[in-house]
Amino acid sequence: MAILRFRALENSSNRKPIVVIAPSSKVSDFYGINVFDKEKMHKYLSKEVFRQLQEATHIGNRIDRKVAELVAAAMKNWAVSLGATHYTHWFQPLTGSTAEKHDSFFELSDEGRAIEAFSSSALVQQEPDASSFPNGGIRNTFEARGYTAWDPSSPAFIMESPSGKTLCIPTIFVSYTGETLDFKAPLLKALHALNNAAVPVCQYFDKNVSSVNATLGIEQEYFLVDIDMYNARPDLEMTGRTLFGAEAAKGQQLDDHYFGTIPDRVNSFMVDMEIESMKLGIPLKTRHNEVAPSQFECAPVFEDINLAVDHNQLLMDVMDKVARRHHFKVLLHEKPYAGMNGSGKHNNWSLSTNTGKNLLSPGNSPKSNLMFLTFFINTIRAVFEHADLLRASITSASNDHRLGANEAPPAIMSIFLGEQLTRVMDEIEKSVKDKKMTPEEKTALKLNIGKIPEILLDNTDRNRTSPFAFTGNKFEFRAVGSSANSSHPMTILNTIVADQLSKFHTEVEGIIKKGIKSDEAILKVLRKYIVESKAIRFEGNGYGDEWKKEAKRRGLSNVTTTPPALDAFITKKSIGLFERNGIFSHREVEARHEIMLETYIKKIQIESRVMGSIAVNHIIPAAIKYQNLLVQNVEGMKDIGLPKEVFSTQIELIKEISTHITVIKKKVDEMLEARKKANALTDIRAHAISYCDKVKAYFSEIRYHVDKLELIVDDESWPLPKYREMVTIR
Ligand code: ADP
Ligand code: MG
């Protein structure tokens, strides 16, 4: 092992940046060349078919067979013209990554000639072997099949690899009995619910609004590590994070990495990643260093949410592939290194109408500001009502390392509004009356509302510690983990907002029926919401211990681990919410809950096994080897008749090493017993809790002793690349 470490050190320090050549100096020449976007559809489809496809995309109309046939033919012709030989349905099973099943365009004609074919049925629906994807007991392997079905609202694209090109068709994945088995289908359902709920509310202000969609811009944080370093760390390879490693003497204390210069090698990787992303129509825009050494971030321009999520999933694949070319490994884990900053995936979310209005952007008149306030306050009310569910939507074994640690949003959900909007909330609360308002009162209020500045983007007014912050014209959900599929939290967010908007509409209608004008009715309900949801608003430091106490006083929950956090997903309240809005059936909620627990158990189980094997098979032998050296040394000194005092330090070290070895071995054995006990539990929740509370509890103790050994044992024989070595990129 130590050989691997030293080879990695040598290789990584000898690397040169790889020269990347863009297809053209103008991005517009290659942006989206691998996407079957509107431009290509125009070219390959008749006007009528194009129109029908657009309608299906935007209004959700059904696509009839004939149209699908023509679209399939067009897609195939386009893909073959670019050299594609295969096609695949690209989908997002609950494993967390994306899945593909490749089929060839190749077919034999009646005369036995080879032809390229792609039928509408191959476009619209496929039957991958669903048995190998998690389904939470919805189907047992021999029962029914699952199938993938085309999502026309996300364009097909071509994935390039050294061995050829593949046409990828974004699809949803459902079981034969109709239950969803992926991340995309529920999101599409949530967007449908959102549209249904938001349009009637928009109509109070603007009769031209006929559809509402959510927009999303995902900031992606990640770490880079040299591929040879990665290969020399079995823990990174198997679990995505380092299970051991003493803190580097120089970590991020100096904060000199943030916005510092990007190393050339990394820059090459970024340029390459941007080119590949651009070709796929992923509008990557910013790149910079992050807080921790070897941590970086990229962000695209925001898009319609379904597309933004697909693009982020695709981006993670692209990053991984491109990194290999540059002898890097991308670490998307939320906490690859203990003691250093973790990675998140900030979800910048807003709502937008068919008329192009951002509903979370203040306008320049009282009317448009009231519209803004309506969506703004309803979002706050929704997050207040379902804070625990939103918390559950971002929970995972890996994100547990981040939330609640003092460098990421806490596990307590709260919303940051900023000073100006807090003031607006307070004014509405004071001035809107329970009784009918006088014309003077109304005018005064209108004037105030009209004063909300059009641009609220004041950087000094930003709070980086809030999990859910309003940032001028959008909310930023920062608690999402870097490795997560944003679909899930976004499904939850859009669902709770949809549900809230429906309630709002009902309440406002109730007041209007009593003869009160709509503006006043709206204000009354908004005021009520402001009062009701106060507890979720927090402008202070979210990292401090004070907030934990304050949050407790306010009745906000602070669940720091996954198994109990997931409870919020299956409460009566949540199930009612999902059913009411047509997102999940009761059965689907239970199945998903089970899958999430199962995933959690597997993750911790793997970490525990890897931890045990590295400690026993790599660390202890290295420590013994060094200990033997010390023993020899002591014996030699004794032989030549030196007094005890001369080798007392060696004796101390020998004893110290023995102590660490003994504890490590004992704890690894105990941990194995804890796993056995946990595995014997039949109830899946108890099983997961046991892994969380009993098995995981050994991690820090075992790690402590291994990390101590790292500081004692001869550097020459230490098997694992050290933190300093891994995070330094030359
Ligand atoms: P910061 O790091 O300061 O939070 P960035 O510029 O890195 O800001 O990221 C902001 C993200 O928010 C970008 O992806 C941007 O496209 C996105 N964004 C901006 N406006 C909207 C909007 N209306 N809806 C969704 N996302 C948005
Ligand atoms: Mg941000």
Q: 657 is written with which tokens? A: 């090493």
- Give tens-digit pLDDT for 239-251: 999 999 998 776 5
Lowest model confidence (mean pLDDT) among 129-138, 187-196, 452-461, 716-725 = 452-461
Which atom of ligand 1 is the closest one to the Cα of 299? 14
pLDDT exceeds 80 at position 509: yes
pLDDT exceeds 90 at position 118: no
CATH of the domain spanning 599-726, picked from 1.20.120.1560, 1.20.1280.50, 2.40.30.260, 1.10.10.10:
1.20.120.1560
Which atom of ligand 1 is the closest one to the Cα of 358? 23
The Cα–Cα gap between 135 and 592 comes to 8
Q: Which residue has the tokens 């619209």?
A: 124
Mutation pick for ligand 1 pocket among 311, 348, 470, 497 (CB with most ligand atoms within 8 Å): 348
Lowest model confidence (mean pLDDT) among 108-112, 171-175, 324-328 = 108-112
- Separation of CA 459 and ligand 2 centre (Å): 11
Decide: 562 in ligand 1 pocket, CB within 6 A. no
Q: What is the DSSP string of 243-290?
A: S--PPPSSSSTT--STT-PPPHHHHHHHHHHHHHHHHTT--EEEEEE-
Decide: 301 in ligand 1 pocket, CB within 6 A. yes
- Give tens-digit pLDDT for 12-24: 999 999 999 999 9
pLDDT exceeds 50 at position 143: no
Mean pLDDT of 414-437: 86
Could you tell me what percent of the chain has a pLDDT over 90?
A: 73
Decide: 474 in ligand 1 pocket, CB within 6 A. yes
Mean predicted lDDT score pLDDT of the chain: 91
Q: Pick the residue with more confidence: 61 or 103?
A: 103
Closest CA to 30 of 82, 89, 98, 80: 82
Contacts of 451 by beta carbon, 8 Å cutoff, 6+ apart: none
- Separation of CA 646 and ligand 2 centre (Å): 58
- Give tens-digit pLDDT for 190-209: 999 999 999 999 999 999 99
Lowest model confidence (mean pLDDT) among 356-360, 366-370, 376-380, 671-675 = 366-370
pTM given for the model? 0.94
Count how many Cα atoms sit within 13 Å of the Cα of residue 64 in the half-sphere of its side chain: 5
* Nearest ligand to the CA atom of 472: 1
Decide: 359 in ligand 1 pocket, CB within 6 A. no
Decide: 348 in ligand 1 pocket, CB within 6 A. yes
Decide: 155 in ligand 1 pocket, CB within 6 A. no
What's the pLDDT band for 179 if we cut at 50, 70, 90?
A: confident
CATH of the domain spanning 192-580, picked from 3.20.130.10, 3.40.50.2000, 3.50.50.60, 3.30.590.10:
3.30.590.10
- Separation of CA 215 and ligand 1 centre (Å): 10
Contacts of 635 by beta carbon, 8 Å cutoff, 6+ apart: none
CA distances from residue 716 to 1, 12, 437, 441, 446 in whole angstroms, order as listed: 11, 18, 80, 79, 74
Mean pLDDT of 255-271: 79
Closest CA to 535 of 518, 550, 548: 550
The Cα–Cα gap between 555 and 535 comes to 8
Lowest model confidence (mean pLDDT) among 457-461, 570-574, 601-605 = 457-461
Q: For position 255, what pLDDT does the model report?
A: 56
Mean pLDDT of 61-75: 85
- Separation of CA 233 and ligand 2 centre (Å): 31
Decide: 286 in ligand 1 pocket, CB within 6 A. yes
- Separation of CA 346 and ligand 1 centre (Å): 9
- Separation of CA 158 and ligand 2 centre (Å): 30
Residue intervals of the chain classified under CATH 1.20.120.1560 are: 599-726
The Cα–Cα gap between 323 and 151 comes to 29
Which atom of ligand 1 is the closest one to the Cα of 350? 24
Q: For position 456, what pLDDT does the model report?
A: 64
Q: For position 656, what pLDDT does the model report?
A: 98
The Cα–Cα gap between 85 and 90 comes to 16
- Separation of CA 299 and ligand 1 centre (Å): 8
CATH domain 31-181 topology: Ubiquitin-like (UB roll) (3.10.20)
Residue intervals of the chain classified under CATH 3.30.590.10 are: 192-580
- Give tens-digit pLDDT for 292-304: 889 999 999 999 9
Q: For position 144, what pLDDT does the model report?
A: 44
Mutation pick for ligand 1 pocket among 259, 288, 302 (CB with most ligand atoms within 8 Å): 302
Decide: 305 in ligand 1 pocket, CB within 6 A. no
- Separation of CA 283 and ligand 1 centre (Å): 12
Could you tell me what percent of the chain has a pLDDT over 70?
A: 94
pLDDT exceeds 80 at position 174: yes
Decide: 220 in ligand 1 pocket, CB within 6 A. no
- Separation of CA 447 and ligand 2 centre (Å): 32
Beta strands 475-477 and 345-353, pairing class: antiparallel
∠ CA 338-342-345, rounded to 5°: 160
Decide: 300 in ligand 1 pocket, CB within 6 A. yes
Mean pLDDT of 301-317: 97
Which atom of ligand 1 is the closest one to the Cα of 300? 14
Decide: 217 in ligand 1 pocket, CB within 6 A. yes
- Separation of CA 230 and ligand 2 centre (Å): 28
Count how many Cα atoms sit within 13 Å of the Cα of residue 651 in the half-sphere of its side chain: 10
What's the pLDDT band for 636 if we cut at 50, 70, 90?
A: very high
Contacts of 672 by beta carbon, 8 Å cutoff, 6+ apart: 612
Closest CA to 664 of 612, 597, 621: 612
Q: For position 137, what pLDDT does the model report?
A: 64
Decide: 604 in ligand 1 pocket, CB within 6 A. no
Phi, psi dihedral angles at 104 (to 5 degrees): -90, 150
Which atom of ligand 1 is the closest one to the Cα of 301? 16
Beta strands 164-175 and 84-91, pairing class: parallel
Phi, psi dihedral angles at 346 (to 5 degrees): -65, 125
Q: For position 455, what pLDDT does the model report?
A: 58
Q: For position 116, what pLDDT does the model report?
A: 77
- Give tens-digit pLDDT for 539-569: 998 888 899 999 999 999 999 999 999 999 9
- Give tens-digit pLDDT for 71-102: 989 999 999 999 999 999 999 988 778 888 77
Residue intervals of the chain classified under CATH 3.10.20.70 are: 31-181
Lowest model confidence (mean pLDDT) among 106-120, 468-482, 519-533, 617-631 = 106-120
Decide: 308 in ligand 1 pocket, CB within 6 A. no
Which atom of ligand 1 is the closest one to the Cα of 218? 14
Count how many Cα atoms sit within 13 Å of the Cα of residue 134 in the half-sphere of its side chain: 23
What's the pLDDT band for 458 if we cut at 50, 70, 90?
A: low
Which atom of ligand 1 is the closest one to the Cα of 462? 3
* Nearest ligand to the CA atom of 218: 1
Mean pLDDT of 346-369: 93
The Cα–Cα gap between 119 and 122 comes to 5
pLDDT exceeds 80 at position 127: no
Lowest model confidence (mean pLDDT) among 33-37, 70-74, 373-377 = 70-74
* Nearest ligand to the CA atom of 480: 2
Decide: 219 in ligand 1 pocket, CB within 6 A. yes
CA distances from residue 563 to 137, 203, 628 in whole angstroms, order as listed: 18, 42, 44
Q: Is 107 helix (H, G, I), strand (E, B) or coil?
A: strand
Give nearest CA residue, ligand 1 atom 17: 217
What's the pLDDT band for 448 if we cut at 50, 70, 90?
A: confident
Decide: 299 in ligand 1 pocket, CB within 6 A. yes
Q: Which stretch, 52-66, 114-128, 421-435, 592-606, has highest mean pLDDT?
A: 592-606
Which atom of ligand 1 is the closest one to the Cα of 352? 23
- Give tens-digit pLDDT for 578-602: 999 999 999 999 999 999 999 999 9
* Nearest ligand to the CA atom of 214: 1
According to DSSP, residue 717 is labeled G
Beta strands 164-175 and 157-161, pairing class: antiparallel
